[in-house]
Structures are given as structure tokens and as C-alpha cells.
Structure 1
């Protein structure tokens, strides 16, 4: 069924759920892209679930809500993302919900196309193509964007590089609300990866997810290399948390940086041990480290050349250094969680601490 086939009397309501915490730099452009959505065959409400921002985000949302009655500001007392999503589910009046991010600007037809494709494909969730763009014109912002937008940086399974078609996971999707409620809502112990966990639970129930390239959104990652490395470390850390909670929510690609890190540590240990041994043992024990780093730098160089042609910039030639830093930080995050036996914080019971605000 396409959107054109939905009778006017059956005009659905789509509830956007937008989790925010100190997003003053981007929130206005994101909300503008949502206010301007083409909605010929559905109604729209926009729930901004804010985690007590201290940078002016709430003031911006309040000002915009005063002029746009479809916007509602909610307070997420627990601050973390899964609490925001679950509060949004509780407050959403729509049959469909759209789980969106505050660093992303959406095409005017984003929601309508995703809803249409969801119905046409018989899926419970559909997201559009995600285009990664630098958050600013600085070299660091461009390098961070290039790392995340290339399959060598984030794998071919990442939401930033995934092809069109049925998928294991979709980001920024329109979803059937009752399906999310049926599988138990979002896991509140997962500050990250709660979307992967949700997508796996939906697939386990036999539901289908779909990625369409008929529409797109522009994602703006961190604009510094320090921010990129911190992002990698946190993702790796929460991969270990997610694995303990739901091993099936992760793919092999989530573990590749950890395997790379452990291989590097083992190879380095061999090379150091060889320093105390005579030749040819010293040289032989140095070979694994040389091969590992050589292969990684070579693959990173190929990726850098591909990006150089695409972006028409020689700045991509710095990527063979940035790629290993990103992958090692990602792997170290996983190792840190395993070594310290870190556990997710206890989830709060219910949503009683969360409340709606009237702008």
C-alpha cells in the first residue's frame, strides 16, 4: 500500500520523538526541517524530549513551540537516551512514531517517503539514506566525517553506509508504535546501542525493517578528532554492555576493532620480547606487528585515495593515521568494559520522573 492509497478518513498521525541534551547549536535547524516536512496524507506532532539541557536548547524549543503548536517539549529527568525514547512512546498520540536524532537535518519528504515505503514493503520500521556531512569546514570536522562515511572506517553494516533494502537495523526510522510496545520498549540500561537492541528484538518477533534511498537525511558528527576518538571509545565500551544484555543485537563488525586491538597488543608483545633474543628470532617476532600495521595502513591509504577522488581534496591523505586511531580507541573501549567488568547502571522503574512541559 502506498501513501496515495490511504483514504483521507484513515489519515494517520506520526509522532516524532527527538531526544535532546545540550543541542543548542543544531536544534533549530533540525526542528525547521521537521516543521517543513511535506505531510499530504498524514498529521504530524513533534515531541522534543529534553534531558535538562543547560545551553539554551530548551529556550529555543520553547520559542519555536510558541509559534508551532505541533511541537511539545517534554522533560527527561533521567537524561539518558532510552528514557527519552520511552517517555516519547508514552506521550505519543500517533499510530506511528519517528525516532530521530538532533544532529541530523531531514529532507522535506523524509517522513512521508519512509511511511510510504514502510507500508509498501510490509515492514514495521523504515529509515532513509543517511548522508554524513562535516559539522563545520575545519580539517578536523572533515576528517571525522570521512572516517565515519567510508566502509573501512565504520563497516558496510553501519547505518551511514548501508545499501537500500531489508536490513538488520535502521536509523532515524518511522516505526509502528504498537510493535515497539509489544517487544518491551527500549532497554533503559543501555545508554547506547538501545536502537540495535530494539531492532534485534523486532526481528526476533518476525518483523521486517527496511532502508530506502528514495529520501535522505544529513548527519553531522562531532567536529573534532578528540570528539571522534571519544565517540569511538564510548561505542566500543557500550558494545560490551550490549553483548552482555543481548548478544544477538551485535554483528561481527562491532567486534572487529576489538580483534584489531588485541592483535596489535599481541604482536607488539612478540616484537618487544624479540628485543632480548638473537637474530633471526628478533626479526621473525617483529613480522606480525609489521604485517598488521602495514595491512591496516595500506587499506586506509586505499580508502583515503577513494575519498580524495570523491571529495577532490588532498586532506584525505591524513586518514591512514586517523583510521587506526579510531579503530584502536573503539577496541580499547570494549577492552576497558571487559577488564573492569563494567555493568550498565540500574534502570529506573517506570517513567514517573519524566514530565511534560507547557511552553
Structure 2
């Protein structure tokens, strides 16, 4: 579990990991802290102390798993994940996020699906929720097809299927021996790059609806913009490194932004305002239709949902275009 400054979530996220119904003597928990300065580690330490105290008093404890703490001075996720993998002793490695809650049978279901399917990585649909009203609206946008395309683990599936990536995947240990660890250059998208590398090497990734988790979305539009701008920016690097595009859906936001800029330029250059609605008109219509469908159970979200959709598409597209310029220039240099 790589974490940094998760004081408001760590009780729930770590609690869900420690509440697993899998045999306790077969589970180890490794927490890699990116030098948190908000009291996160004090909370983690109190959980560990509570475990030690209840164990000494022979009182049944809700915390059964041994916990290992590792410092992550670089403060980014891939270095933390690789440190944890080096310390792990198990045959199955499960990556869990400090901003998420996994079901009590998460480990059990992961092990079962790995055995039943022979896949090298398994995961499940991730339900995105929000703690505030704005965060709830953002979570609706992130869980919709219009917002994020056909990302199976975000939009969900009723039946198990093979996919190109999953969140919080469970991997067979030999995968890391075969294709290496997480790419430490990628501040974002390190999971996507690793999973793409896995499928390119012939491995299979299985998503199963029995493997369930909850993820807490960003609580501000600014945070959402930053998150998806970085996703687009680092997606270019993933494509460069792997020499292929994992899915064409990743290109659509960039095409949208380029088309938008082009039509606005044409409108200004030719003094014909109709150019301006060539892209804006259809997009606005599609956005409103998606909003009415996604927000049909709570029309209040229609005040913000169109903006959340627009931020998802613009930020990812702009990040992708910036990444094309930045990473190409850096590689040439």
C-alpha cells in the first residue's frame, strides 16, 4: 500500500485491508510511506500499537496481519510499489490504494479468480464515490462511459472478462520476475504501463465482478483537472515506451481539443462564427444528453456535471498534447 498524506482516509483504507477474511497467517501488509507530513504515520503507528497491545493481552483483535513500514523518500508511487515488492514474501502481490476501501473478501476472491482462470493479473470493478456533494458529482462523471470511455473497471461489467488494465490488481509473483517492476519514471499511469507491458508479453488480465472496491474521488474541480492532465501527459510516455497505443480511446480527448482549437482559429481567421460551432455544437449536445442520462436520478447534479465532463476531456486532451511536445523534445534531446 503506497501512501502519502492520507490522514483522513488511512483508518478506513488500512482497516479494510486488515479486515480481510482470508487466513490471517497467509497475509502480510506492507505500507510504503512517501514521507507524509499530515499525521498519517502517527495514525498508522497507533493502529500497530493497538494490534500489539491486544495481542499481548490475548484479546481477539480486529487487526490480524503483520504490518511492515517502509519509507519512500522519492515520494512517488512506482518507487514505493517496487520497494514493497522487494520486501514481500508471498506468491501473490496485491496493490491497494490509500484512498480506497476493498471488500472483506477482496483477497479471497482475487486468489480464487487467479486460480480459476489462470490469468496473471486480476481485479474488479471500482465504485467511485464522493464525500461531499461536489465529489459525488465528480464521481458520477468518472463512472460514466461519456466521461472516461470504455474503461471496464470504472464503468463496470456484469460478467467476468479479459481487459487491458484493472485498478488495484492482484499479480502472480513470477510476473515481476519475468517483466520487471513498475516504471519509476511514471509519476502517473504506472499501473497502465505495467499492465500494457504484461499483455504485450502474452499475459492475461481478468476483471471479475466478485472483486469489489470503493475509491474516493477528488473533491474539487481543480484537483480533478490536475489529476487528468497528468493522466494525459504521462499516457504519451507510456505509448512511447511500449511502442503502441493500448486503446484508441486514449487519443479521443486530444483529437477533441485539437479540433476545438482548429475550428475556433478558423472562426477568428475567416470572421465566420459558424466555424466555432462545428465542434462546440455537437459536443455540447452530447454533453447535455450524457448529463441528463447520468443525472436522471438527481437533477441537482446538472448544475456541475457538464463542467466535470468538460474538465475530464479538456484536461486529459491538453495533457496529452503537452506530453507529445514534452516527451518528444526530451527524447530527441
Same fold (TM over 0.5): yes
Please give the secondary structure, in 2, of the residue aligned with 1:100. Answer: coil
Offset at 1:171? Answer: 1.3
2:18 maps to 1:35: yes
**Alpha-carbon displacement from aligned partner over 1:311-342 (angstroms, at most 9, x marks no partner):** 43432353223312321111111222233446
Q: How does 1:245-324 map to 2 (within 5 A)?
A: 245-248=241-244, 250-275=246-271, 282=272, 286-287=274-275, 289-309=276-296, 311-324=297-310
- Find the partner of 2:32 among 42, 49, 56: 49
**Is the CA contact 1:241–1:343 (under 8 Å) kept in the aligned structure 2?**
no
The question of whether the paired residues in 1 share the 8 Å contact of 2:3 and 2:34 is answered with yes
Matched, 1:334 2:329: no
Q: Distance in 2 between matches of 1:41 and 1:125?
A: 22
Structure 1 vs Structure 2 CA RMSD: 1.9
Where do 4+ consecutive residues of structure 1 move more than 6 Å? none
Q: Is the 8 A contact 2:152 2:163 kept in 1?
A: no
| Residues 228, 312 of structure 2: 8 Å contact kept | yes
Given the alignment of the two structures, is residue 204 of structure 1 paired with residue 200 of structure 2, yes or no?
yes
Q: Give the stretch that moved more between structures: 255-264 or 335-344.
A: 335-344
Q: Which runs of 5+ in 2 are unaligned?
A: 52-62
What is the rounded CA distance, in whole Å, between the counterparts of 1:340 and 1:215 in structure 2? Answer: 38
In the alignment, the residues of structure 2 paired with residue 222 and residue 332 of structure 1 have an alpha-carbon distance, to the nearest angstrom, of: 19
1:305 deviates by 1.4
Higher helix share: 2
- Alpha carbons 1:166, 1:209 under 8 Å: kept: yes
Q: What are the equivalent positions in structure 2 for 1:88-99 lying under 5 Å apart?
A: 88-99=84-95
Q: Distance in 1 between matches of 2:263 and 2:243?
A: 28
How do residues 153-302 of structure 1 correspond to structure 2 at under 5 angstroms? 153-157=147-151, 159-163=153-157, 164-248=160-244, 250-275=246-271, 282=272, 286-287=274-275, 289-302=276-289
The match for 1:76 is: 72
What do residues 44-70 of structure 1 show as CA deviations (whole Å, max 9, x unaligned)?
111011111111111111121221551
Pick aligned residue for 2:124 from 128, 131, 143 = 128
How far did 1:41 drift? Answer: 8.8
Q: Could you tell me whether the CA contact under 8 Å between 2:124 and 2:153 is conserved in 1?
A: no
Deviation of the 1:200 alpha carbon: 1.6
Give the equivalent residue in structure 1 for 2:132: 137
SS in 2 for 1:52: coil
What is the TM-score when the length of structure 1 is the normalising length? 0.83
State the Cα distance separating 1:223 from its structure 2 match.
Answer: 0.6
Tell me, in whole angstroms, the C-alpha distance in 2 between the residues paired with 1:109 and 1:203.
26
Q: 2:311 aligns with which of 304, 325, 331?
A: 325
What do the CA deviations read for 1:249-269 (whole angstroms, capped 9, x no partner)? 632111111111000011111
Give the number of aligned pairs. Answer: 315
CA distance in 2 between partners of 1:42 and 1:211 (Å): 27
Which residues of 2 match residues 8-27 of structure 1 at below 5 A? 18-27=1-10
CA distance in 2, matches of 1:323, 1:124: 34
